[in-house]
Copies of this chain bind each other. A is one copy, B any other.
């Protein structure tokens, strides 16, 4: 597994000391454990030492790390939620070349995951109304070499819709999801899934109500909790602090008439 320029690598020292970065042989980066000279990095799985002798491993990033590691200007969709949303999407068949809508782009964390999932023949239409967020999300997607699969729009689709039709899945992550239910209904293939994510229960209540009124059925709401377990000889136990809540995840399927 020779590493090529442009590959994303995870320089891993420990769960709290790691760097996700794009490889290029001339690069040198400074960590607070010392400087890493990239000219000595050749292949995945190897070790590399800082000039202070600290050991890092060169790993292929996990998807979760890629999405968590975007430069953040907003809250992001956590991996525990991101994977669950995919599993409850209608991106089941025909199973390639999916076209999906996402709004808002945020920092591009979930855009990244969607772009990976739809594959090279697929397309993610990502909408964002705040220009600085869009710019940052774009940069994150470029860094990961996924620009071909993502089309960004600087736009508030609650006003005159998405302008994209017959998509296979729509994901809404904005503070007022209920304003986008009708536009989403217009753009989504019948029988397919709309998902939205909201931290507050009142947002879920309003969003769900609008879905019921607009023509969605099979509406379900979930919350996902992730607990890390520390497995150490004689000291195995859950870690003592956890993220207790990120957001509620709501799903519904569009029907032609109720």
Contacts and interface: CB of A to CB of B under 8 A. Distances in A.
Interface in A47-87: 47, 57-67, 79-80, 82-87
Interface stretch (A28-36, A100-108, A114-122): A114-122
Nearest to A8: B93
A59 B202 contact: no
Nearest to A229: B221
Contacts of A57: 191, 217-218, 253, 255
Interface stretch (A123-131, A134-142, A154-162, A232-240): A232-240
A58 B228 contact: no
A46 B190 contact: yes
A151 interface: no
Among A7, A191, A208, A257, residue most surrounded by chain B Cβ atoms (within 10 Å) = A191
A62 B92 contact: yes
A248 B205 CA distance: 18
24 contacts: A1-B192, A15-B218, A15-B220, A43-B190, A45-B191, A45-B254, A47-B257, A59-B90, A59-B218, A60-B90, A60-B193, A62-B251, A62-B253, A63-B91, A66-B92, A80-B87, A82-B83, A83-B84, A204-B229, A222-B226, A225-B227, A227-B244, A241-B241, A242-B244
